[in-house]
Amino acid sequence: GQNIDQPTEMTATEGAIVQINCTYQTSGFNGLFWYQQHAGEAPTFLSYNVLDGLEEKGRFSSFLSRSKGYSYLLLKELQMKDSASYLCAVDDYKLSFGAGTTVTVRA
Amino acid sequence: NAGVTQTPKFRILKIGQSMTLQCAQDMNHNYMYWYRQDPGMGLKLIYYSVGAGITDKGEVPNGYNVSRSTTEDFPLRLELAAPSQTSVYFCASSYGLASYNEQFFGPGTRLTVL
């Protein structure tokens, strides 16, 4: 079975940094995706990690430790438009999604 | 390119009614997926297809059927709607299997069964 855990909600101030953790226990693992989903909209791709370490893409970075079953998404220089749900998804040829972390950015 | 399109955007069904959710993609992707998303929950895979004529069950297939007669279209059929099927349904497509291949999602269909 697949067990993927993320915090339900996080709140941060504009310009700050927020780290969203994701832990997983899955029967298979090829890699880990992060998707962003604004309220009422479809998920959109943010990042994909297959090897241990940090992948940086502009203001967003994603980290993976396969041995620990752990990933995090780091959002830097937060903007109001970053208020959204962030979904962690384990890739085992099919995707298994966590419940998502709702991030609220306050002025 | 329109990407992944879904119709309808909203629908209200009575218990026991049937309907088909339409999904089409114009990116020539081989792989297509149907997910449902309940409030506060992650996306659950209903069915997927690896190419025309080939479909397989996902995590929550009961109460649903699919077909894939062309590369572009992947409709989802609800035969006897139940309140438990109230959800937001997302169709997605990708060039290859999940590995290294991001999935592109449609805008969703919001279904209420009363």
pLDDT exceeding 90 applies to what percent of chain B?
87
B96 has a pLDDT exceeding 90:
no
Give the residue from chain A lying closest to B104, CA to CA: A44
Quote the tokens at residue B28. Answer: 């020539």
Given this model, what pLDDT does residue B1 score?
78
The maximal CA–CA distance of chain A, rounded, in angstroms, is 42
B6 has a pLDDT exceeding 80:
yes
Q: Hey, is the C-beta of A91 within 8 angstroms of any chain B C-beta? A: yes
C-alpha span between A5 and B60 (Å, rounded) = 19
Q: Running along chain A, 107 residues long, what does each successive block of 10 average in pLDDT?
A: 90 97 92 95 94 95 96 98 96 89 97
**Do residue B102 and residue A97 have CB atoms under 8 angstroms apart?**
no
pLDDT tens, position by position, B13-66: 999 999 999 999 999 999 999 999 998 888 999 999 999 999 999 999 999 999
Given this model, what pLDDT does residue A1 score?
63
B99 has a pLDDT exceeding 70:
no
Distance of CA A72 to the CA centre of its chain: 6
C-alpha span between A22 and A29 (Å, rounded) = 14
Give the residue from chain A lying closest to B100, CA to CA: A48
Distance of CA B49 to the CA centre of its chain: 10
B98 has a pLDDT exceeding 90:
no
Given this model, what pLDDT does residue A97 score?
94
Which residue from A43, A50, A91 is facing B105, i.e. has the nearest CB?
Answer: A43
